[in-house]
Structure 1
Amino acid sequence: MDTPVTTWGPETQQAHTAVIAIHGRGQSPAFMRDQAERLHSTGVRFYCPSAFGQTWYPKQFLEPLADNEPHLSHALDAVDSLARAVEADGFPPERIVLWGFSQGACLISHLVLTRPASYGGLALLTGGFVGPEMLPAPEGRPLQGTSVVMRSIEHDPWVPTGRVKETAKALSAAGADVDLLIAPGNEHIITDEAMSAVDRLLRSIRPSDTRGPDRPAAT
């Protein structure tokens, strides 16, 4: 995989959950690591890919899909490949959480609705699927059992509330258990309440048979 990945947290043998953290436009893994410091969950290993030029795709996310290609497809491939690499590290899908903010949340939303796969949870903070048209939910209920935390700001300057709600509707139709909250305000921020919700998500995924140094990783 050509996309650089920054990791932090306990080593794989000591971690019970993996988080793939996707930063937003103009950000880097350092931003997501700073946000992770606001979490209180333990035993979580983070994997954070770095977008070339600090952006996953060039245009705004509501522009026609073709205007963001081939960058959008390359970014989706990068996250998809990283998820498979995290599995190879010993984390089964049910112990993997995808967490994104802003453009990162948009990328994850688009990924799971166009390339549905099993994950332990999703944390989508101020984002929605990409493109100007309503994205149909995938056939069947491929996200059944997936817990999703969605948070946004009512008058966010970059992400319309309507798109966040459309994304929540599509995820629910795909079988996901969506926890959506739109906070008042007009700033492009991650609130303390949003981070508390991510903490709850991570605690809900923690298995009863956490791996320790004497427990080999899954193969």
Structure 2
Amino acid sequence: MLSNLHSALPGTAWGSETHEARTAVIAVHGRGQSPAFMQEQASRIDAPAVRFYAPAAPNQSWYPKQFLEALADNEPDLSLSLDTLGRLVDAVEAEGFARERIVLWGFSQGACLISHLILTRPDRLGGLALLTGGYIGPDALGAPEGLPLDGMPVVVRSIDQDPWVPRDRVEQTAQTLSAAGASVDLLVAAGNEHIITDEAMSAVGRLLSSI
């Protein structure tokens, strides 16, 4: 269980002890995965003094349908999952991490959830790492008014012909984050596999080291 966090947020915590960590990372897994997957991937990150928190989705899925389907078809699970992430950010802050030291990192469905959270409920955190994901729903999502993300660093990585996440949605998400004031580092690698590349993990490490 996540120490001192809300009992409705089962998951795993690892890395530096809270009093020693410089950065907190909320690691959000994809469909059919668990916090153990994100913990395994975190071993590929080269960044010091990081504490990781990984929530667990009910039945290993944050919402039931594919992310490009109608928003209503993914309710109420989608809103419940967005609420869960919001509460977890608050709980990690309560553990002693200022919001500018909290990074959201997600892969696949986890990256989609994070994208949608930040664009529909803007929160200027320490950064985002979105690996193969984009905002949710069939329609274009406009940027929130003003520049609420105010230079927040965002790493966006994907694969050109990923079988689940179209390249154009990844690029639209990056553009919308930029329009909301984020500083976006976007790279789409060649290939057709649903994977996290070594370059993507290096980019996440650089982001965390910069916080």
TM-score bracket for this pair, using the shorter chain length: over 0.9
Aligned-pair identity in percent equals: 69
CA–CA separation in structure 1 for the residues paired with 2:112 and 2:156: 11
CA–CA separation in structure 1 for the residues paired with 2:11 and 2:39: 12
Q: Are 2:167 and 1:137 equivalent residues in the alignment?
A: no
Shift of residue 5 of structure 1?
Answer: 2.4
Shift of residue 40 of structure 1?
Answer: 1.4
Give secondary structure in 1 for the equivalent of 2:175.
Answer: helix
Counterpart of 2:92 in structure 1 is 86
Q: Are 2:160 and 1:179 equivalent residues in the alignment?
A: no
Q: Are 2:143 and 1:160 equivalent residues in the alignment?
A: no
- How does 1:34-183 map onto structure 2 within 5 Å? 34-183=40-189
CA–CA separation in structure 2 for the residues paired with 1:9 and 1:199: 14
Give secondary structure in 1 for the equivalent of 2:53.
Answer: strand
Please report the TM-score for the alignment, with normalisation by the length of structure 1.
0.93
Partner amino acid for 1:198?
A: V
Give secondary structure in 2 for the equivalent of 1:193.
Answer: helix
CA–CA separation in structure 1 for the residues paired with 2:97 and 2:136: 28
RMSD (CA atoms): 0.5
Shift of residue 3 of structure 1?
Answer: 2.4
Partner amino acid for 2:23?
A: T
Give secondary structure in 2 for the equivalent of 1:98.
Answer: strand
Counterpart of 1:209 in structure 2 is none
Partner amino acid for 2:209?
A: R
Gaps of 5+ in 2: 1-5
Give secondary structure in 1 for the equivalent of 2:134.
Answer: coil
Q: Are 2:27 and 1:27 equivalent residues in the alignment?
A: no
Larger of the two Rg values belongs to structure: 1
Q: Which residue of 11, 16, 27 corresponds with 2:22?
A: 16
CA–CA separation in structure 1 for the residues paired with 2:92 and 2:132: 25
Q: Which runs of 4+ in 1 moved over 2 A?
A: none
Partner amino acid for 1:61?
A: F
Gaps of 5+ in 1: 206-219
